[in-house]
Structure 1
Amino acid sequence: MLPYLSTVQPVRRIRYIIFLKDVLILALTTFGGPQVHLAMFYERLVQKRRYLTEDELLELNALGQVLPGPTSTQTITAIGFKIGGPNLAYITLLVWILPAVCIMTAAGMGIYYLEQHHLSLQFARFIQPMAVGFMVVAGYRIGQKVIKNQVSLALALIAVVVAYLFRSPFMTPIVIAVGGLTTALTYEKQKRMEKKPLRVQWSNFFLWLGVFVGAATLGAYTQSLPVRLFENFYRNGSFVFGGGQVLTPMLYNEFVAFKHYLSREEFLSGLGLVQAVPGPVFAFASYIGVLSMRDSGMHGQLWGSLVSTAGIFLPGTFLIFFVYRFWEQLKRYRVVRASLEGINAASTGLTAAAALALFEPMATHWSSVVVVVSTIAVLLYTKIPPYVLILVGLLTGVIL
């Protein structure tokens, strides 16, 4: 028995190392958001390595879509949990987000350096309207999938109007909650499935809730900017359903329209740049964290990136660990499946409202309008990937 155990442990370690190497390769090569990420996960983790089956991958991805947080990040974290438990899952999370976080941290520090030395940012002038084009297409594609009837259409339109008129970060979770509750009332339309008693392990839920309350209390008491940044991102990460496209309007309302930590131009430049970065779109938080603490020097900027990154990624991680253990039972409840329809519809409306708010100042500049329309057309009618568009936009800006 002992020789067998001594043989199994090194084999497992080698398998875990190979898995983490695969995760790093994906982190460096996956562009284009959750849909593209899923395809690449399938190719490398299912077809090539056979860590799990296609059905298991789709199920874990569905779980990520049910929960607030970054879908592709939660999916690959759950795969790590499935293969090696919570310790491997945490390492998987770090390996997956590290390249994108480092790049966006450097981008934030670079933008600040250029501003401090009064150097022109005109090379990025095409990136800002392109970012609006990306948002419009993202909202359109989400809407095609989730708006299936008059109720979901009405919820999306109401979300657009409310989010556009009341640009407060506190309005976002309210809109999402109202959307979910509205369609939850129509649960009887869902197919009935045989239910089993839920066996819930509450530790990770209480960990999520404890950090949520603790960060809010500590931030209000100390008024420390790093603590408040962590709390702001933790709150946003706890309420964002639908991935990076929905996160963007939440961050714009919070840090540009409401708190003015970033200018609109800085926000759009970062939003465009993150489209050209592999890995999770949620790494945009690192960029915002740097510029939010621009007055604290390089050390403060790095600290801002760290707390913002931790704040945006931890809620989804805690919740995936919590729900993963009883997901098989939970998905059988009709009210859970029904609420997703309203959540997704409201999220579509939030994305459209953010695109409108960002486009509004550009409407009087014909060159920006042309770039927005051209970006939308290229994304809809060609197969050119977003990062190629961004690189072309940057190169054109440098030349002109």
Structure 2
Amino acid sequence: MNQSVFRRWIEILLISTKLGLTSFGGPIAHLGYFREEYVKKRKWLDEKSYADLIALCQFLPGPASSQVGISIGMLRGGIFGGVLSWIGFTMPSVIVLIVFAYLVQGFDASSAGWINGLKIVAVAVVAQAVLGMGKNLAPDRPRIAMAILAALITLFFPSAIGQIGTIIAAGIIGYVLYKEMKMDDVQDMPITISRKVGVLAWIVFIALLVGLPLLRTAIPTVWMSIIDIYYRVGSIVFGGGHVVLPMLEREVVPINMVTESEFLAGYGATQAVPGPLFTFASYLGTVTAGWSGALVATVAMFLPSFLLVLGTLPFWNVLRRKPSVRAALMGVNAAVVGILLAALYDPVFTSAIKTTPDFALVLVAFGLLMYWKVAPWIVVLATALGGYLLSVFF
């Protein structure tokens, strides 16, 4: 094996694991952590390529932040690099939720002071990301207007359909406004995956989506039920982790895979761990069938995201080089900034900032990140401690 490739794989696993241990605050905050680590610090891709990846993953069903992480892993280290990136980012929360399901199902995670500190630091992380991306992706008045309009639509129509409609509309406006604009050459992403592999990934994705419900009927076991439920939900959910939770409740509670009280206990724990909210599947799988159920549910939940990214990336360089697509992406990227801006307020700010001391703490965290350039993981730990101290003294 090429030694440099092996080194890259180890690097991908280590960096993604660090992010998996420290990326609190939900999917929008994750994009801020990724930008700081992969774009600003390590220069694995430029700001424009990162924004284009976010735009692509916003169109795909599944957890957008996990898909962005998988994509970056694939760009850096091929298909196996994408697998390692997913493992590193996902496994810390999987392990915690499996242990939680076994040991402390009655714990009310939402009431802990340090949990509030983790919500507060997410406000600072997302604010930093919005400012940085806005500066690069909405530099003129038309795109600033598109970003503000996208934020307003997202705030008043907070649904997956509204978000997707906003992105499509922004793409059309971007095409109309910028199709005649002379643009600099776009830098190709280092995609080594062939188009044949991409087509095969799409075939597998559709075959599983159609075939698993039939297999579940033919083989009515708990394992086939787990695979079918979590693969199907992971394939069709738009809008990220906060949307997937109620969808899962409708799937697993009525058929008594999980009780209502067990579901709610896991819901609270999932908010408390770093990494993607889709790892809620790990908790539910443990309650249903132990640690092996957790692993099956987790793989089934994230497999659609992996197949969708693998199927789309090989065609992405060709698409994003086309002048018409690039013009549309200028509008889409401005809309993404607006969507992030709306998410900064709701749910990130509204769920974290309840009192004046909360706001004071977020100002300190933002200053440390933005101006003192303190490492995000240090700011996360410090703000968690600050949240605990606030719960003791205020």
Letter in 2 for 1:269: A
Match of 1:393 among 375, 383, 386: 383
Deviation at 1:388, TM superposition (A): 0.9
Residues 83-102 of structure 1: pairs in structure 2 closer than 5 A? 89-102=78-91
Match of 2:370 among 380, 387, 394: 380
Letter in 2 for 1:96: S
Deviations 1:349-375 (A, max 9, x none): 222222322233555433433333333
Deviations 1:369-389 (A, max 9, x none): 333333333322221122112
The answer to whether residue 163 in structure 2 is matched with residue 160 in structure 1 is no
Match of residue 348 from structure 1: 337
Q: Determine the C-alpha separation between the residues in 2 that align with 1:225 and 1:372.
A: 40
The answer to whether residue 290 in structure 2 is matched with residue 289 in structure 1 is no
Q: Determine the C-alpha separation between the residues in 2 that align with 1:193 and 1:365.
A: 47
The answer to whether residue 319 in structure 2 is matched with residue 319 in structure 1 is no
Residues 1-400 of structure 1: pairs in structure 2 closer than 5 A? 12-14=1-3, 16-28=5-17, 32-38=33-39, 41=42, 64=53, 67-68=56-57, 70-71=67-68, 73-80=70-77, 89-110=78-99, 112=101, 116-118=105-107, 122=112, 123-191=114-182, 203-211=196-204, 213-214=206-207, 217=210, 224=225, 226-235=227-236, 250-255=239-244, 266=269, 268-270=271-273, 273-274=274-275, 284-291=276-283, 293=285, 295-299=287-291, 300-323=293-316, 327=317, 330-358=319-347, 359-362=349-352, 364-396=354-386, 400=392
Quick one: structure 1 residues 20 and 182, their matched pair in 2 at CA, closer, same or farther if it must change by over 3 Å?
same
Deviations 1:336-358 (A, max 9, x none): 11111111111122222223222
Letter in 2 for 1:357: D
Letter in 2 for 1:229: Y
Quick one: structure 1 residues 189 and 216, their matched pair in 2 at CA, closer, same or farther if it must change by over 3 Å?
same
The gaps in structure 1 that reach 5 residues or longer are 1-11, 46-55, 81-88, 195-200, 240-249, 275-283
Letter in 2 for 1:383: K
Quick one: structure 1 residues 159 and 294, their matched pair in 2 at CA, closer, same or farther if it must change by over 3 Å?
farther
User: What TM-score does the superposition give when structure 1 sets the normalisation length?
Assistant: 0.68
Quick one: structure 1 residues 235 and 138, their matched pair in 2 at CA, closer, same or farther if it must change by over 3 Å?
farther
- Number of equivalences: 336
For the Cα contact (< 8 Å) 1:290–1:302, is it kept in 2? Answer: yes
Q: Determine the C-alpha separation between the residues in 2 that align with 1:397 and 1:90.
A: 40
Quick one: structure 1 residues 94 and 206, their matched pair in 2 at CA, closer, same or farther if it must change by over 3 Å?
closer
The gaps in structure 2 that reach 5 residues or longer are 23-32, 58-63, 186-193, 218-224, 250-262
For the Cα contact (< 8 Å) 1:147–1:153, is it kept in 2? Answer: yes
Quick one: structure 1 residues 205 and 97, their matched pair in 2 at CA, closer, same or farther if it must change by over 3 Å?
closer
Q: Determine the C-alpha separation between the residues in 1 that align with 2:242 and 2:159.
A: 6
Quick one: structure 1 residues 316 and 16, their matched pair in 2 at CA, closer, same or farther if it must change by over 3 Å?
same
Deviation at 1:154, TM superposition (A): 2.6
Deviation at 1:64, TM superposition (A): 4.4
Quick one: structure 1 residues 306 and 129, their matched pair in 2 at CA, closer, same or farther if it must change by over 3 Å?
same
Deviation at 1:19, TM superposition (A): 4.3
